[in-house]
Chains A and B, each alone.
Chain A
Amino acid sequence: MAISKPDLAISTRALRKVFRDKIAVRSLSLEVPRGEVFGFLGPNGAGKSTSVKMLLGLVRPTAGQASILGRPAGHVATRRKVGFLPEHFRFYDWLTATELLQVHGRLYGMTRDELRKRVPALLDLVGLTPHHDKRLRDFSKGMLQRIGLAQALLNEPELIFLDEPTSGLDPVGRRLVRDIIKAQRERGATVLLNSHLLSEVEITCDRVAFIKHGEVLETRELKSLLQEQTSVSVRASKLSSEILGGLAQFASSIHATGENLNFSVTSSRALPEIMRYLVNHGVDVYECTPQRLSLEERFLEIVGTDGGL
């Protein structure tokens, strides 16, 4: 039966989805602990959205197992604790922002009393209070995204799926989404963030999974991922080939031309030791710049440059 560990918000094993002759998700195995902001990274068509839909019970897996919050994916009552912002949020456009949240809140089983407090608070949170009476048809793409985000938070969910939450948002809106995600994490909620905006993921996520062809290539803690494999460029004089030879015990890919020295370290923690070594051997160091690899570079390194096509 389905795997269900209580400390995991999401757990899948060999999850697979085939649409007619197209494999959307090949074999997804994933574990997301509770309380984490988890990023789903992958090129277009990697199966990110289909995976999320399987976890939410919108799409039936062809094979494999999936559970959320300790219950099999698709379990109706569990969805009381789940929030979801679809990639392109839309609803009947004749509803006002307030009415939309009321309808969705009632579908969550919330009472009118609860909604009387919750709806204005959420409108305020997503910055739509001045537009609470406006119909959705008069909303911009960014405003629709904001109201979509609000409906995903109505029930104070334990697990929130955000599929491209910042699409259509301006920088102010993107900042808002970041702050909301942060607030959700502080509240103890788990957030699964599907985004192709790597800078977004870099700022908000604790861990990321790199997905390609519907398979997890790698799951890594973001901090360590970005810290490791730092390339360092140093400007120094009085470098000798002996000193450079000795440097090999700390670093790799050592190149020196004139006063410019470049090397790679597996962790930036090695840097003080290297500086001490250079100074003790009489090298004059003018400049030392660790070149942190951006998530984008790591992404291209892991996923490849073919875009998964």
Chain B
Amino acid sequence: MAAWIMAGVTFREALRKKLVWIALAAGIAFLALFGTGLHYQAKDFAERSTNPLLRREILRTMLTLGLYAIDLLTVILAVLTSVDTLSGEIASGTIQAVATKPVHRWELLLGKWLGFVAMLSGYLLLMVGGVNLLTYLAGGVTAHHPVRGFGLMWMETVLLLSVSFLLGTAYSSLTTGVFVLGLHGLAFIGGWIEQAGAIAGSPRAVNVGIVASVIMPSESLWRRAAYEMQSQVAGAMHMTPFGSESVPSRTMIIYAGVYLAAALALAVLRFSSRDL
């Protein structure tokens, strides 16, 4: 019950942040740009009577590109909006009036977390839906496995959110932000090393990438999402952040799920035992 109250008030607090509205404006601007691009592309295709199969593949690639941009936007939104929620309220003392109510600390933390999950889910759904709608209108193309893809992107967002919560129980807002984005950056670079290693036939380089994914599996979730959503042709594109030379395995996805749950559980434990 208390968790729902906190979720509600946190959701409203999150929507009060200018950052969310700027991200939304950026997202809409992006969709507008994307839609305009698709529109002219479709016109040119029609004029040149491009092969419909090729058209579809190009559209699918465009779709993946669009989703990649959304993924970045959402990840940044998740981290930047949530870094302050624990450390900031602990530092300012805002948390004191709430934590002395007859509620468990885990209810407070989970409530806050749910509030952010709701806000981020709404954003992601809007953007992923928007991009798919645009490619559908331009040429009847949508993601290959849209639900799976969305689920994986959602998981990536929530994973980073949970890590941000965990670090927020121990560090200042700024440190938490740098730490989480640093970990995500590590995973990102690791993903590239893994791709390059796979192309160059270097299993040791692939292993370096896998180690990076073990440290932070966020990028693996994106790469798996891209793999689920795109067609084989786009998947064969080399050396791109959505290439699938080395697709993260099912095991890696399960690992990411465990990682997410562990981060959240640790956040609850740390928050429950720390002085406020």
Instruction: Give me the interface of A with B, judged by CB distance under 8 Å.
Output: 19, 53, 56-60, 76-80, 82, 84, 86-92, 94, 103-104, 106-109, 148, 151
B98's contact among A76, A94, A107, by CB below 8 Å, is which? A107
* Also in contact, A89 and B104, with CB within 8 A (given A58-B275, A58-B276): no
A192 to B93, CA, bound (A): 20
Q: Tell me the minimal C-beta distance from B224 to chain A in angstroms.
A: 37
Beta-carbon contact of A90 and B1 below 8 Å: no
Beta-carbon contact of B93 and A106 below 8 Å: no
Closest to B8 in A: A103
Q: Tell me the minimal C-beta distance from A142 to chain B in angstroms.
A: 17
* Also in contact, A60 and B1, with CB within 8 A (given A84-B97, A90-B92): no
Beta-carbon contact of A92 and B93 below 8 Å: no
Interface size bucket, B side? 20 to 34
Beta-carbon contact of B101 and A108 below 8 Å: yes
- Chain B, residues 83-101, CB within 8 Å of chain A (1/0): the string is 0000000001110111111
Instruction: Give me the interface of B with A, judged by CB distance under 8 Å.
Output: 1-2, 5-6, 9, 12-13, 16, 92-94, 96-104, 273, 275-276
A53 to B93, CA, bound (A): 12
Q: Which residues of A contact B100 (CB under 8 A)?
A: 56-58, 79, 82, 84, 86
Beta-carbon contact of B9 and A103 below 8 Å: yes
Beta-carbon contact of A77 and B273 below 8 Å: no
Closest to A90 in B: B94
A63 to B5, CA, bound (A): 34
Q: Tell me the minimal C-beta distance from B119 to chain A in angstroms.
A: 15
Q: Tell me the minimal C-beta distance from A13 to chain B in angstroms.
A: 20
A104 to B13, CA, bound (A): 15
B102's contact among A76, A86, A151, by CB below 8 Å, is which? A76
Q: Which residues of B contact A19 (CB under 8 A)?
A: 275
A19 to B276, CA, bound (A): 12
Q: Tell me the minimal C-beta distance from A140 to chain B in angstroms.
A: 18
Beta-carbon contact of A107 and B5 below 8 Å: yes
A5 to B59, CA, bound (A): 75
A55 to B92, CA, bound (A): 20
Q: Which residues of A contact B9 (CB under 8 A)?
A: 92, 103
* Also in contact, A109 and B94, with CB within 8 A (given A58-B99, A58-B276): no
Closest to A163 in B: B96
Q: Which residues of A contact B275 (CB under 8 A)?
A: 19, 53, 58-60
A84 to B103, CA, bound (A): 14
Beta-carbon contact of B93 and A86 below 8 Å: yes
A90 to B93, CA, bound (A): 7
Q: Tell me the minimal C-beta distance from B220 to chain A in angstroms.
A: 36
Beta-carbon contact of A86 and B99 below 8 Å: no
Beta-carbon contact of A107 and B103 below 8 Å: yes
Starting from the known contacts A92-B9, A104-B101, 6 additional A-B residue pairs (CB-CB under 8 Å) come to A53-B96, A57-B99, A59-B276, A79-B101, A91-B98, A103-B9
Beta-carbon contact of B93 and A107 below 8 Å: no
Beta-carbon contact of B102 and A79 below 8 Å: yes
Beta-carbon contact of B16 and A94 below 8 Å: yes
Beta-carbon contact of A76 and B5 below 8 Å: no
B97's contact among A57, A59, A82, A151, by CB below 8 Å, is which? A151
A109 to B99, CA, bound (A): 14
Q: Which residues of A contact B104 (CB under 8 A)?
A: 76
Closest to B4 in A: A106
Q: Which residues of A contact B94 (CB under 8 A)?
A: 90-92
* Also in contact, A107 and B96, with CB within 8 A (given A59-B276, A60-B273, A94-B16): no
A84 to B13, CA, bound (A): 23
A24 to B14, CA, bound (A): 35
Q: Tell me the minimal C-beta distance from B7 to chain A in angstroms.
A: 12
A108 to B102, CA, bound (A): 6
Q: Which residues of A contact B92 (CB under 8 A)?
A: 90
Q: Tell me the minimal C-beta distance from B271 to chain A in angstroms.
A: 12
